């Protein structure tokens, strides 16, 4: 079974790998032999690629805004020109708007959240699927959230966006199942990353956000990486259209 997590010769495209979940997943794919193409609006994506190369792997970074169609298309083209194709994609870039009850959310924050978290995933899927359909194979994983399975308080734009990511995942899986392409999503609970570090650093907020966590802690980015590699691997060939909670049983009650 261990050999099935060997991605040697496979190319994976990851968005949002400058920090957090994307970075941990990029490093894990690199450790398991994959060629890793990183797209991020944050130049620290270059450091992730450098860390993979320093460990003996292959990786390139291209500055990418996931809301920009040309830049998303160009990232797929980079995978093809650098490594000869694209086998796996992890559409992970995302942002969390300020928390507030719905009437206090700004129109700008709502639009920006949908643009990055939903349009960003749509554009990734659009160009990745076009390439994978020609190849007749591929595996795509999108980052949704437990906020894509049920509502969290004071996060209306994010809840709407992550439900849309779950919907896009199911729709894409149906459209491409017969062509040998799998599309799944992950739905993390609270993960320790730059997105949530300020909550975890403040004892009062930490207690509140962990109150409904049966495991009593945040999930680590490396634990999310394990699920992404599992879904990308050839051991899960019948899994498509699924949205996987990875939340330490937070949504089971
Ligand atoms: N941290 C959590 O608790 C949690 C829980 C569930 C889901 N998520 C989701 O996981 C994903 C990764 O988040 P994270 O926790 O690692 O936080 P993070 O802030 O460390 O990572 C987000 C990444 O997305 C990139 N990004 C943001 N806007 C972009 C854009 N327009 N174009 C390209 N890249 C852009 C950032 O630069 C960063 O590298 C996000 O989709 C987030 O919504 C996080």
* Mean of pLDDT values over 29-50: 98
80, pLDDT greater than 70: yes
Give the DSSP H/E element, type plus range, for residue 158: helix 156-176
Instruction: Judge residue 45's burial from the number of C-beta atoms within 10 Å of its C-beta, 0-12 exposed, 13-18 middle, 19 or more buried.
Output: buried
196 lines ligand 1 (CB under 6 A): yes
Is 214 among the domain residues? no
Give the pLDDT confidence score for residue 253 in this predicted structure: 74
d(CA 64, CA 30): 20
Q: What does the DSSP 8-state code read for residue 186?
A: E
197, pLDDT greater than 70: yes
Of 127, 158, 176, 244, which residue is the catalytic one? 158
Give the pLDDT confidence score for residue 212 in this predicted structure: 86
Is 184 among the domain residues? yes
Name the residue at shortest CA distance from atom 8 of ligand 1: 145
Residue 100 CA to ligand 1 center (angstroms) comes to: 19
Question: Annotated catalytic, 158?
Answer: yes
189, pLDDT greater than 80: yes
pLDDT digit string (tens) for 145-160?
Answer: 999 999 999 999 999 9
Residue 92 CA to ligand 1 center (angstroms) comes to: 6
Name the residue at shortest CA distance from atom 37 of ligand 1: 42
101 lines ligand 1 (CB under 6 A): no
Residue 66 belongs to a domain with what CATH number?
A: 3.40.50.720
2, pLDDT greater than 70: no
pLDDT digit string (tens) for 42-69?
Answer: 999 999 999 999 999 999 999 999 999 9
pLDDT digit string (tens) for 117-127?
Answer: 999 999 999 99
What is the pLDDT confidence band of residue 10, given thresholds at 50, 70 and 90?
A: very high
User: 12 near 33, Cβ under 8 Å?
Assistant: no
Is 208 among the domain residues? no
Total domains, the chain: 1
Atom of ligand 1 nearest to the CA of 147: 6
Mutation test residue for ligand 1: of 13, 20, 90, the one with most atoms within 8 Å of CB: 20
180, pLDDT greater than 70: yes
Is 79 among the domain residues? yes
Is 253 among the domain residues? no
Is 209 among the domain residues? no
200 lines ligand 1 (CB under 6 A): no
Give the pLDDT confidence score for residue 248 in this predicted structure: 95
Write out the residue range of the structural domain in which residue 126 sits: 11-191+221-243
Give the pLDDT confidence score for residue 132 in this predicted structure: 98
Is 4 among the domain residues? no
Name the residue at shortest CA distance from atom 23 of ligand 1: 16
User: 209 near 154, Cβ under 8 Å?
Assistant: no
Is 213 among the domain residues? no
What is the pLDDT confidence band of residue 1, given thresholds at 50, 70 and 90?
A: low
């Amino acid at each position: 079974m261990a050999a099935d997590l060997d991605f040697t010769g496979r190319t994976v495209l990851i968005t949002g790998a400058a920090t957090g979940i994307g970075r941990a997943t990029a490093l894990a794919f690199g450790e398991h032999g994959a060629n890793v193409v990183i797209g991020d609006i944050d130049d620290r994506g270059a450091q992730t690629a450098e860390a993979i190369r320093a460990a003996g792997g292959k990786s390139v970074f291209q500055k990418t805004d996931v809301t920009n169609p040309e830049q998303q298309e160009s990232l797929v083209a980079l995978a093809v020109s650098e490594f000869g194709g694209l086998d796996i994609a992890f559409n992970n870039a995302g942002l969390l708007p300020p928390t507030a009850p719905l009437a206090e959310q700004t129109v700008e924050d709502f639009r920006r959240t949908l643009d990055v978290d939903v349009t960003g995933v749509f554009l990734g899927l659009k160009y990745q699927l076009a390439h994978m359909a020609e190849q007749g194979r591929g595996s795509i994983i999108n980052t949704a959230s437990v906020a894509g399975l049920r509502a969290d308080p004071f996060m209306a734009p994010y809840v709407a966006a992550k439900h849309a990511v779950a919907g896009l995942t199911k729709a894409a899986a149906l459209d491409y199942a017969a062509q040998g392409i799998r599309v799944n999503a992950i739905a993390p609970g609270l993960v320790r990353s730059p997105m949530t570090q300020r909550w975890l650093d403040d004892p009062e907020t930490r207690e509140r956000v962990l109150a409904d966590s049966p495991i009593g802690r945040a999930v680590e980015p490396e634990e999310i990486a394990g699920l992404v590699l599992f879904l990308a691997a050839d051991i899960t060939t019948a899994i498509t259209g699924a949205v996987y909670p990875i939340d330490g049983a937070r949504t089971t009650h």
